[in-house]
């Protein structure tokens, strides 16, 4: 039975506002734009939004377009998985036409770098499209050694200079410090909310969490923080979320469809290593450090993503995280050709086996989902496997 | 759908140089094995890494892509990819990059090509796609090697007609920031190599190596230009592809220069004598994408029926245009940095790739283009829409083949032949007549 649409969420004004933003991203962004700020859209996990906020501009998280994707089909090779196709479509179609002043992509995946080059070329080839000015944040994310740290400092400084060019003035340390504080507060609120997802007494379903977290992206940070705090208080007394608690990794889910399928099959995502989820709030910028370095470190030190991390690092961090959140299983869900996780899997599986945590790997998925029944069947079988393993 | 092989996969060799390079590579590999067994370090490097440094330091090495091509040519791809599946991975993805790792999983490694791949002690990798990095990590661990990863830095300077700048104005082409970055990476790599092998880099030797590279690639440039302007072509890609690539992996050696010179002289002799590879040449084709190492005969399949000759691949093309860096004496490491910071962009970044393909199609008097797109490569993304559009807009019809260039098991000869025949019959012949 699906766990979505529980009474507790329906009765929560905080959840309703977050859900409205999640369901109506375009309208939510339009509302934010009423302030007159220029928009800087972000593609990839590692665009330092603190800098954008410090400049008095509006950072907007780009979400993929979930509808027909003729532009992606026309311009992209099949090696671009469903999530990347959705992001590209959202830039190219009319969904956000006239709303993008700038677009910043980050080196969070090699596919994003390809999209950066494609978009630059499309700007040259098809100027009538009026694509926004495009920038790239080239953080070194694969390793966390000093070489990467030094580069990331330099990249942050360059990005600050770039944004200063856009806003036409110097960004002060005070402005950066203030933005860091606002973002840290927001992430703290997200973490407190997410804590209610963890363990066997999870109060929040995966789809509710995804709705609230991703919905908060489309509100002013201060307002989002307020709502999340309110929601956390309320959710403490929500009825327990049913389903076997699992950790999710693989292709990022920007809609609740897959999580809801899992819930209906007896699984509940209690954490994920994805930006639309727990990974967004995994790491604060250290307020004790000079602001530019603090921002660089925030992106340098975050939880390793599969796209930009070594197998050995993930073979430690993922099981640790699973233990930390009390997940009873792990689901790797991969879109077709977004399948680098395959190389991670055997080592993670071995580590999880020692912990008695079963794992399910689902490959070759598309948007729209091609065979929901088969997926539901596999989720349900896995839920039974996990329950069996517990016995 | 894989089909049982009922077609010829070996190409007919028309030149002597590929026979020389083919014979040499086996002999060289056996010698390399002896050196490794005697305790020398052994490097395993990507094609996109500066192997010139190892060459100058006399560190034995092989190139990942060369090894994949050898496995494919020996029809051993399917065996190795099945080993990946048995180890919990998959046998149908990343075939171009994972062959060597698959070899490390072989319980009988000595049954691999020429006695199998010895275990490398050093891996030099360039950060590529998410899967490529992981495969390199698995290889490093499986071989008990030590790895150096050259970080990547994006290109934010887009210049038209890059080939007009690459030899002499490479600072302008690549941009100071990016070259600075790569130069620093190479200096770190040199320290790593010196520390791990106990060998030192002699800059005089590096300059000599880089000058050899320039000389070698200069011969390729002359060869490419000769083929481009000669109709009918004196040779086709089956004559050049092995001769070029086998020597390219020894770039910077005297032998590499000799083989490039030998190829040029052979081709020149054919031109002077008026000998044509395909005497009834009516159609000239350009191949974009990785070589079909397990089936080089494919390129000759269309010669008799249509007088269609494949005269261009990226292998000779990129040798001709992509490597030469003049004035290396001033700062040899920086000149090398400029080469490797930009090399991948030639093939993968628009508009560098599309502009170059159009230029090469024009210069080589091409009638049509066959574009191999590997669907099992997650790093495949060269903005092929743009490449195809640029070529078509310039008057070159394009046919796309979706196939795995490393795994013979998945090749459908019938479908691929049909696709190229469709291009020839429906788009090229009507246009020419």
Using CA coordinates, name the residue in chain A closest to B130. Answer: A307
Cα distance between residue B74 and residue B113, in whole Å: 7
Per-domain residue ranges of chain B: 17-432
Contact (CB, 8 A) for B236 and B299: yes
Residues of chain A in contact with residue B89, where contact means CB-CB under 8 angstroms, are: 342-343, 346
Among residues A116, A66, A65, the alpha carbon closest in space to that of A92 is found at A65
* Interchain contact, B129 vs A113, CB within 8 Å: no
**Dist. CA A151–CA A138, nearest whole Å:** 9
If you ran DSSP here, which 8-state letter would residue A278 be given?
A: G
Quickly tell me which residue has 């008057």 as its tokens.
B395
- Residue A38, domain CATH: 3.40.50.11900
The three state secondary structure string of B99-120 is HHHHHHCCCCHHHCHHHCCCCC
Residue A108 lies in a domain: yes
**Cβ separation A138–B153 shorter than 8 A:** yes
Residue B375 confidence (pLDDT): 76
Which residue of chain A is at minimal alpha-carbon distance from B390? A125
- Per-residue H/E/C for B371-413: EEECCCCCCCCCCHHHHHHHHHHCCCCEEEEECCCCCHHHCCH
Assess whether pLDDT exceeds 50 at residue A179. yes
Give the pairing type, strands B61-63 and B122-126. Answer: unpaired
Exposed/middle/buried for A11, CB within 10 Å: 0-12, 13-18, 19+?
A: exposed
State the Cα angle at B91 between B89 and B96, rounded to 5°: 105
Tell me chain A's radius of gyration from C-alpha atoms. Answer: 20
With respect to residue A1, please indicate whether it lies within any of the assigned structural domains: no
The pLDDT value recorded for residue B6 is 64
Closest-CA residue of A relative to B101 is A343
Of A250, A210, A245, A206, whose CA–CA distance to A348 is shortest? A250
* ipTM computed for the complex: 0.94
Under 8 Å between Cβ of A222 and A184: no
The minimum CA-CA distance between B20 and chain A, rounded to whole Å, is 38
Q: Confidence band (pLDDT; 50, 70, 90) for A182? A: very high
In tens, the pLDDT along A114-143 reads 999 999 999 999 999 999 999 999 999 999
Average pLDDT, chain A: 96
For residue A2, being part of any structural domain is answered with: no
Which bin fits A17, alpha (ψ -120 to 50), beta or left (φ > 0)? alpha
Residue A375 CB neighbour total at 10 angstroms:
18
Nearest CB among A113, A118, A148 relative to B350 is that of A118
At residue A171, the pLDDT reads: 98
**Chain B residues lying within 8 Å of A344, measured CB to CB:** 134
For residue A106, name the pLDDT band (cuts at 50, 70, 90).
Answer: very high
Closest CB from B88, B188, B383 relative to A345: B88
Shortest distance between the Cα of A79 and any Cα of chain B, in A, equals 5
pLDDT of A2 above 50: no
- Please tell me the predicted confidence (pLDDT) of residue A391: 67
Q: Do B385 and A121 touch (CB under 8 A)?
A: no
- The pLDDT of residue A3 is 46
Q: Which of A77, A310, A349 sits opposite B381 (nearest CB)?
A: A77
Query: How many folded domains does chain A comprise?
Result: 1
pLDDT of res. B73: 86
Q: Do B134 and A311 touch (CB under 8 A)?
A: yes
**Is the CB of A337 less than 8 angstroms away from the CB of B153?**
no
B130/A140 CB distance under 8 A: no
Residue A1 scores a pLDDT above 70: no
- C-alpha–C-alpha distance, residues B179 and B398, integer Å: 35
Counting Cβ atoms within 10 Å, is residue B63 exposed (0-12), middle (13-18) or buried (19+)? buried
* Chain B residues touching A74 at Cβ < 8 A: 385
Residues of chain B in Cβ contact (below 8 Å) with chain A: 87-90, 93, 127-131, 133-135, 137-138, 141, 149, 151, 153-156, 158, 181, 188, 348-351, 373, 375, 377-386, 402
Give Cα separations from B261 to A291, B210, B218, B237 (angstroms).
58, 16, 9, 17
Q: Do A114 and B383 touch (CB under 8 A)?
A: yes
For residue A109, list chain B residues with Cβ-Cβ distance below 8 A. Answer: 130
Dist CA B260 CA B36 (whole Å) = 27
For residue A118, give the chain B residue with the closest CA. B383
For helices B314-321 and B237-248, the axis angle rounded to 10 degrees is 50
Model confidence at A193, pLDDT cuts 50, 70, 90, reads very high
Phi, psi of A333 (to 5 degrees): -120, 115
Count of all residues that appear for chain A in the document: 391
Instruction: Inspect the interface and report whether the beta carbons of A340 and B134 lie closer than 8 Å.
Output: yes
Averaged pLDDT, A162-187: 98
In DSSP terms, B287 is beta-bridged to: B370
Please tell me the predicted confidence (pLDDT) of residue B5.
58
| Averaged pLDDT, groups of 10, chain B, 433 residues long | 59 87 94 96 94 97 92 87 92 85 92 94 90 93 96 91 97 95 97 98 98 98 98 96 95 98 98 96 96 89 95 97 96 97 94 98 98 82 95 98 82 94 98 90
Does the pLDDT at position A192 exceed 80? yes
* Per-residue pLDDT at B199: 97
d(CA A196, CA A231): 11
B223 closest CA partner among B250, B241, B246: B241
Chain A nearest-CA distance from B48, in A, is 16
Q: What is the dihedral of CA B378, B379, B383, B389, to 10 degrees?
A: -70
Angle ∠(B372,B106,B10) on CA atoms, nearest 5: 40
For residue B188, the chain A residues in CB contact (below 8 A) are 147
Of A74, A136, A346, the CB nearest to B154: A136
CA–CA gap between residue A313 and residue A188 (Å, rounded): 25
Helix (H), strand (E) at residue B204: helix B203-229
Residue owning tokens 């030469």: B324
Question: Chain A residue closest to B136 (CA)?
Answer: A310
For A43, the enclosing helix (H) or strand (E) is strand A39-43
Nearest Cα residue in chain B from A346: B88
CA distance A381 to B307: 58
Record: contact B381-A312, CB cut-off 8 A: no
Give chain B positions within 8 Å (CB) of A273. Answer: none
**How many cross-chain Cβ pairs, A to B, lie less than 8 Å apart?**
103
Q: How far apart are CA A214 and CA A277, in angstroms?
A: 7
Across the interface, do A306 and B381 touch by the CB < 8 Å criterion?
no
The residues pairing with A272 across neighbouring beta strands, listed in sequence order, are A248
Helical spans, DSSP H, in chain A: 7-10, 13-23, 25-33, 49-54, 70-75, 82-92, 110-125, 146-167, 173-195, 206-216, 221-235, 257-264, 291-300, 311-325, 341-355, 372-390
**B248: Cβ contacts below 8 Å, ≥ 6 apart:** B256, B315, B319
Whether A204 is covered by a domain: the verdict is yes
CA distances (Å), origin A146, targets A150, A153, A191, B334: 6, 10, 28, 22
Confidence of residue A79 (pLDDT cuts 50, 70, 90): confident
- A92 contact residues in B (CB cutoff 8 A): none
How many Å apart are CA A211 and CA A256, to the nearest integer?
Answer: 7
> Is B134 in contact with A118 (Cβ distance < 8 A)?
no
**Structure confidence at residue A367 (pLDDT):** 97
- β-strands B43-45, B398-402 pairing: unpaired
Distance from CA of B373 to the nearest CA of A (A): 9
- Order of strands, sheet of B122-126, starting from the edge strand that comes earlier in the sequence: B61-63, B43-45, B122-126, B146-150
| Cβ contact, residue pair A142, B138, below 8 Å | no
B159 vs chain A: nearest CA distance in angstroms?
12
Nearest residue, CB atoms, A140 vs list B130, B131, B151: B151
Q: Answer whether residue A343 shows pLDDT above 50.
A: yes
A283 falls within a domain: yes
- The number of angstroms, rounded, from the C-alpha of A267 to the middle of its chain's C-alpha atoms is 20
Query: Phi then psi for A111, rounded to 5 degrees?
Result: -65, -35
Contacts 24+ apart (CB under 8 A), A350-354: A350/A315, A351/A315, A351/A316, A351/A318, A351/A319, A352/A319, A352/A322
């Amino acid at each position: 039975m699906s766990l979505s649409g529980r009474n507790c969420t329906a009765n929560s004004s905080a959840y309703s506002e977050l859900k409205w933003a999640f369901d109506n991203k375009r309208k939510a962004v339009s509302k934010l734009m009423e302030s007159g700020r220029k928009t800087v859209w972000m593609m990839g996990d590692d665009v330092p939004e603190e800098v954008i906020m410090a400049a008095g501009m509006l950072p907007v998280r780009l979400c993929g377009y979930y509808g027909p994707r003729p532009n992606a089909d026309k311009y992209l090779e099949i090696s671009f998985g469903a999530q990347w196709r959705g992001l590209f479509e959202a830039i190219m179609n009319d969904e956000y036409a006239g709303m993008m002043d700038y677009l910043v992509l980050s080196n969070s995946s090699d596919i994003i770098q390809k999209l950066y080059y494609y978009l630059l070329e499309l700007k040259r080839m098809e100027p009538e499209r009026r694509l926004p000015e495009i920038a790239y944040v080239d953080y070194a994310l694969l390793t966390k050694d000093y070489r990467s740290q030094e580069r990331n400092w330099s990249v942050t400084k360059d990005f600050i200079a770039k944004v200063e060019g856009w806003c036409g003035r110097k960004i002060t340390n005070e402005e950066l410090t203030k933005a860091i504080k606002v973002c840290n507060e927001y992430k703290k609120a997200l973490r407190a909310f997410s804590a209610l997802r963890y363990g066997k007494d999870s109060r929040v379903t995966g789809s509710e969490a995804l709705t609230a977290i991703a919905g908060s992206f489309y509100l002013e940070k201060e307002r989002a923080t307020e709502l999340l705090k309110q929601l956390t208080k309320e959710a403490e007394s929500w009825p327990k979320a049913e389903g076997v608690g699992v950790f999710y990794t693989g292709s990022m889910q920007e809609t609740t469809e897959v999580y809801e399928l899992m819930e209906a099959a007896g699984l509940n995502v209690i954490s994920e290593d994805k930006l639309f989820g727990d990974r967004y709030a995994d790491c604060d910028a250290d307020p004790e450090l000079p602001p530019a370095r603090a921002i660089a470190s925030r992106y340098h030190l975050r939880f390793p993503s599969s796209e930009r991390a070594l197998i050995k690092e993930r073979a430690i961090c993922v099981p640790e995280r699973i233990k930390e959140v009390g997940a009873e299983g792990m689901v790797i869900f991969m879109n077709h050709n977004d399948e680098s996780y395959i190389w991670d899997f055997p080592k993670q599986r071995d580590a999880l086996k020692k912990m008695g945590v079963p794992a399910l790997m689902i490959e070759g998925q598309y948007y729209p989902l091609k065979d929901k029944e088969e997926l539901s069947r596999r989720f349900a079988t896995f839920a039974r496997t996990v329950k069996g393993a517990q016995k | 759908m894989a089909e049982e092989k009922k077609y010829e996969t070996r190409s007919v060799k028309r030149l002597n140089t590929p026979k020389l390079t083919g014979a040499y590579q086996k002999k060289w590999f056996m010698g390399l094995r002896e050196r490794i067994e005697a305790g020398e370090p052994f490097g395993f490097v990507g094609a996109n890494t500066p192997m010139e440094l190892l060459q100058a330091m006399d560190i034995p090495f092989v190139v990942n892509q060369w090894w994949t091509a050898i496995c494919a040519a020996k029809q051993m791809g399917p065996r190795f990819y099945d080993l990946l599946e048995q180890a919990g991975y998959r046998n149908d993805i990343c075939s171009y990059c994972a062959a060597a790792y698959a070899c490390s999983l072989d319980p009988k490694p000595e049954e691999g090509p020429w006695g199998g791949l010895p275990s490398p002690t050093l891996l030099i990798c360039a950060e590529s796609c998410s899967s490529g990095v992981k495969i390199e990590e698995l290889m490093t661990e499986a071989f008990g090697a030590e790895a150096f990863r050259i970080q990547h830095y994006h290109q934010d300077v887009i210049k038209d007609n890059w080939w007009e700048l690459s030899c002499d104005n490479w600072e302008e082409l690549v941009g100071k920031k990016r070259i600075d970055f790569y130069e620093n990476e190479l200096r770190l790599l040199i320290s790593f190599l010196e520390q791990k092998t106990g060998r030192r880099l002699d800059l005089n030797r590096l300059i000599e190596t880089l000058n050899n590279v320039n000389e070698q690639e200069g011969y390729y440039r002359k060869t490419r230009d000769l083929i481009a302007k000669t109709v009918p072509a004196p040779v086709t890609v089956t004559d050049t592809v092995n001769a070029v690539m086998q020597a390219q992996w020894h770039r910077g050696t005297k032998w590499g220069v000799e083989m490039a010179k030998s190829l040029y002289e052979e081709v020149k002799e054919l031109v002077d004598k008026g000998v044509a590879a395909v005497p009834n040449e009516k159609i000239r084709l350009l191949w974009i994408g990785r070589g079909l190492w397990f089936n080089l005969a494919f390129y000759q399949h269309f010669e008799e029926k249509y007088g269609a000759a494949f005269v261009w691949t990226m292998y000779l093309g990129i040798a001709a245009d992509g490597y030469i860096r003049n004035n290396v004496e001033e700062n040899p490491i920086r000149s090398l940095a400029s080469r490797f910071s930009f090399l991948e962009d030639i093939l993968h970044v628009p508009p560098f790739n599309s502009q170059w393909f159009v230029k090469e199609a024009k210069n080589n008097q091409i009638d049509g283009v066959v574009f191999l797109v590997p669907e099992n490569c997650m790093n495949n993304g060269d903005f092929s829409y743009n490449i195809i559009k640029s070529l078509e807009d310039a008057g070159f019809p394009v046919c796309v083949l979706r196939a795995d260039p490393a795994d013979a098991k998945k090749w459908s000869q019938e479908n691929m032949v049909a696709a190229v025949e469709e291009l020839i019959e429906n788009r090229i012949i009507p246009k020419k007549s």
